């Protein structure tokens, strides 16, 4: 992201504008579930600001509010078009997984500290997946109000609806969240379960995996058509456990590592130091109820190693 060349870094007006970047990235990622799309939105937001004359810029009472409003509108447009793009996406689409901020690859796109997403309950994979099932307007209303504390009057300007309608959208979205999300499992327990899952998979212990998987567990993989993976969700503990053991037996050269994925305990698979898969989990009552496996290399650019598009995992 570039700004006007020759700009004085001590200029308070410029500092106020550039200081909004991290908030904009955080907002856009939660709305879109894709850091790449979030970066594009923020780039376009700043491009629109710098396309204005100095007189036009100075006439804006709150530049920060203006930037956030423009970014929100752009996100709404992206969400609306994303539904069309998803129709041609190969296989299942999973939000882009994020590593712990301390582990983001330096020298890569979005490696700047100002671009790092704050990892909290609003970016867990489970939360983002529920958001993705909402209408664009529901998602925008919920995230802007409940996560970023925007008043409904401001959300109305972004969505082109009335404040009352935005309040109803947020309420509807909250009901979806409550219906889809189980009670939270303490982080320490999640970590232990993920660790036991890793150990059972590495030795091919089907019975141990069955003891960790909920009978109705679902596994979803995202290869984006760029790597081989299952195109449809797999359901059932027995089927998933045996499929995982067979898969891991074929990719013995890979290494499983425990990592934080979107702020939650997860796993990554590496081949020769390159991350080829990122796994996140939903855990309820000491059982794994959801497994999300992201293998699309375009969504792994912040993880260790160069981008690849080959090995199975």
Model pLDDT for residues 84-94, shown as the tens digit of each residue: 778 789 999 99
Q: What integer pLDDT is reported at residue 306 of this predicted model? A: 44
| pLDDT score for 117 | 81
Q: What's the confidence (pLDDT) of residue 112? A: 55
Residue 182 confidence (pLDDT): 80
pLDDT at 39: 94
For position 195, what pLDDT does the model report? Answer: 98
pTM: 0.86
Domain architecture of the chain: domains with CATH: 12-180 (no CATH), 187-299 (3.10.450.50)
Low-confidence stretches of the chain (pLDDT < 50) are 1-10, 106-110, 306-313
Report the pLDDT value the prediction gives residue 107, as an integer from 0 to 100.
Answer: 44
Residue 11 confidence (pLDDT): 56
pLDDT at residue 176 in the model: 93
Q: Using a CB cutoff of 8 Å and minimum separation of 24, what contacts does 41-46 make?
A: 41/71, 41/74, 41/75, 41/78, 42/1, 42/71, 43/1, 44/74, 45/70, 45/71, 45/74, 46/1, 46/3, 46/17, 46/21
What DSSP line would sit under the chain, residue for residue? Answer: ----TT--TT-HHHHHHHTTHHHHHHHHHHHHS-HHHHHHHHHHHHHHHHTS-HHHHHT-S-HHHHHHHHHHHHHHHHHHHHHHHHTTSSS---PPP---GGGSPTTSTT-SGGGPPP-SGGGSHHHHHHHHTS-HHHHHHHIIIIIT---HHHHHHHHTS-HHHHHHHHHHHHHHHHHHPPPPPPHHHHHHHHHHHHHHHHHT-HHHHHHHEEEEEEEEEE-TTTS---SS-EE-HHHHHHHHHHHHHHTTT-EEEEEEETTEEEEEEEETTEEEEEEEEEEETTEEEEEEEE--GGG-TTSSS--------
């Amino acid at each position: 992201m570039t700004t006007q060349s020759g700009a004085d870094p001590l200029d308070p007006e410029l500092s106020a504008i550039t200081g909004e970047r991290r908030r904009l990235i955080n907002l856009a990622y939660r709305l879109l579930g894709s850091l790449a799309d979030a970066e594009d939105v923020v780039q376009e937001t700043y491009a629109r600001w710098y396309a204005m004359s100095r007189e036009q810029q100075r006439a804006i009472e709150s530049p920060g509010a203006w930037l956030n409003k423009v970014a929100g509108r752009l996100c709404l447009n992206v969400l609306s078009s994303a539904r069309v793009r998803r129709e041609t996406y190969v296989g299942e689409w999973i939000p882009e997984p994020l590593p712990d901020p301390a582990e983001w690859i330096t020298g890569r796109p979005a490696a700047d500290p100002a671009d790092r997403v704050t990892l909290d309950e609003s970016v867990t994979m489970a939360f983002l997946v529920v958001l993705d099932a909402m209408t664009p307007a529901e998602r925008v209303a919920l995230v802007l109000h409940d996560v970023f504390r925007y008043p409904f009057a401001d959300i109305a300007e972004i969505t082109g609806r009335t404040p009352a309608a935005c309040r109803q959208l947020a309420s509807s979205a909250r009901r979806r969240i409550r219906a889809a999300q189980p009670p939270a499992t303490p982080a320490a327990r999640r970590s232990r379960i993920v660790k036991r899952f890793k150990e059972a998979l590495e030795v091919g212990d089907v019975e141990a995996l069955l003891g960790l998987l909920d009978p109705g567990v679902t596994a979803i993989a995202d290869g984006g058509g760029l790597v081989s993976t299952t195109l449809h969700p797999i359901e059932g503990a027995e089927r998933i456990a045996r499929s995982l053991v067979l898969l891991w037996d074929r990719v013995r050269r890979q290494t499983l590592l425990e990592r934080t994925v979107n702020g939650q305990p997860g796993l990554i698979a590496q081949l020769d130091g390159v991350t080829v898969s990122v796994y996140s989990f939903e855990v309820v009552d000491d059982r794994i109820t959801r497994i999300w496996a992201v293998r699309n290399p375009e969504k792994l650019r912040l993880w260790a190693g160069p981008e690849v598009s080959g090995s199975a995992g």
